[in-house]
Amino acid sequence: MKPELREKHPDYPFIEFGPAAAFFEIEDIDSVNTVILSSDWYMSINGDLGLFSYDDKESALNDVKSRLFNDWKDYELARNEILRALDKGDIELALRLSNGIGYAQGKSDAIATFKGVVQEVMTPLQPYSR
């Protein structure tokens, strides 16, 4: 394992990413007994290794917001990180996290509204769909 290969995310410093060698013992990589490939990239959030592997650095970076704002019930992780950021006086990080929560909530609300409208339109048409 080579932790020095890990990089901090430019916007969210509690997230690190790097190639497989940054998170796994060398003998476990490309082994017959594992599915860890040396070409894979991984992400850890607050030191907890994620369950996802990525083809490259760019893919890992692009997935950060999805993991951070979509995978946690009630945005728990982001809310906790906002509190930590405020305790440290890092207002910019707290604002980035708040903005991410707002965007995710807005997107979720828009999808729910769209589904409702489609259902409303489709209900009277159901007798004709057979």
Encode the chain (130 residues) as per-residue pLDDT tens digits. Answer: 798 999 999 999 999 999 998 998 878 777 766 778 888 999 999 888 887 889 999 999 999 988 888 877 789 999 999 999 999 999 999 999 999 999 999 988 999 999 999 999 988 888 887 6
pLDDT for residue 130: 67
Q: N- to C-terminal Cα distance for the chain?
A: 60
Q: Spell out the SS3 assignment of the chain.
A: CCHHHCEECCCCCCEEEEEHHHCCCHHHCCCCCCCCCCCCEEEEECCEECCCCECCHHHHHHHHHHHHHHCCHHHHHHHHHHHHHHHHCCHHHHHHHHHHHHHHHHHHHHHHHHHHHHHHHHHHHHHHCC
Q: Are strands 48-49 and 15-19 parallel, antiparallel or unpaired?
A: unpaired
- Whether the Cβ atoms of residue 102 and residue 110 lie closer than 8 Å to each other: no
pLDDT for residue 78: 94
pLDDT for residue 89: 98
Residue owning tokens 């082994």: 31
Q: What is the pTM of this model?
A: 0.76
- Whether the Cβ atoms of residue 42 and residue 53 lie closer than 8 Å to each other: yes
In whole numbers, what is the pLDDT of the chain averaged over residues? 89
